[in-house]
Amino acid sequence: METSEEIENSAILKCFATYSTKLNHSYDKYESIYKMNRDLNRESKKIICTLHRIPGCAVAEQELCLKESEEQLSMVQASLITSIAKLLDGEALHQYSPAHASGIEEYLEALLFYSFLKKNFILSFEQVCCFMNGDVPLSSFFEISSYAAEPPQVLSSSSAKPVSSCTHSAAKMVSFDAYILGLSDVSGELMRYFIKCAGVGEVEKSALVVQCLRQMNAGYGSLQAPAPSLKNKIAVHRRNLAKVEEINYNLNLRRSELPHCGTNILLTDFEDDFV
């Protein structure tokens, strides 16, 4: 029979002690990432709420909201996202993906919504990766006037370029799937933005939203065999598009019939659709 000392020094127990240490370290890291993910969700929602203050405001106040949102986006990237990336360095990304996936999608939603309100275009997958990696500041994407002339586009999975040259986990966290899922959530914010713009009589901005949602819907058609989670979001996007098109059509029709009526009166019959 083995003595207690022999049992304590056995190779099997030493192996299990090593496994225990590794598991505890992995659990602690997962919990740390999950806590930062909650902060990332909260800060992203604050940015979206700030952007929704724009319709109906004076030009100076709109610029102030955009500047505040840009500063918040950059601050979150430099703090929370970079901190998560440091914890993920040298780790298997899929192992910790559930801990940060929701926060990354929410942040992408805020980032892409901001880019549309800033210059009426959607940041591409490669541009998002460069910004998340800290290679370029966010403002650099809006300094080139040609970006503003490009219509919002949704890349197909075949045209997405892998970020193999990026060694930093901040860029690797943003897979093409995460980008598309974040982009899909933007349709809900664009629908709310459309209704607010229509409510204050900003017809041109409302028309841009309709155009963007249509182009996004056309882009989804190029995706082959999307995942079930994306299928659900595409279905929600198409419902949002149908609602926006119906309201836009009826508003234009009533505006032609009653040109002197205010937009609030024209929107009376659609109050139930705004919820």
| Spatial CA neighbour of 142 closest among 154, 153, 150 | 150
**Distance in angstroms (rounded) separating the CA atoms of residues 32 and 196:** 38
Average pLDDT of the chain to the nearest whole number: 81
C-alpha triplet 87, 89, 90: angle, nearest 5°? 125
Higher pLDDT pick, 151 / 176: 176
Confidence of residue 133 (pLDDT cuts 50, 70, 90): confident
| Spatial CA neighbour of 160 closest among 101, 96, 219 | 219
Position 165 scores a pLDDT of 41
Higher pLDDT pick, 90 / 194: 194
**Distance in angstroms (rounded) separating the CA atoms of residues 88 and 26:** 11
| Arithmetic mean of pLDDT, 163-173 | 56
Lowest mean pLDDT among 137-141, 179-183, 237-241, 262-266: 262-266
**Distance in angstroms (rounded) separating the CA atoms of residues 191 and 72:** 23
What pLDDT, in 10s, does the model give residues 15-58?
888 888 889 988 999 999 999 999 999 999 999 999 999 998 99
**Every domain of the chain and the residues it spans:** 13-274
Whether residue 157 is predicted with pLDDT greater than 50 in this model: the reply is no
**Distance in angstroms (rounded) separating the CA atoms of residues 84 and 37:** 8
13-274: CATH topology = Methane Monooxygenase Hydroxylase; Chain G, domain 1 (1.20.58)
| Whole-structure pTM value | 0.82
List, as residue ranges, the binding site for Mg(2+).
Answer: 109, 189
Task: Give residue 170's Cα distance to chain centre.
Answer: 15
**Distance in angstroms (rounded) separating the CA atoms of residues 34 and 216:** 31
List, as residue ranges, the binding site.
Answer: 109, 189
Position 4 scores a pLDDT of 62
Task: Give residue 105's Cα distance to chain centre.
Answer: 5
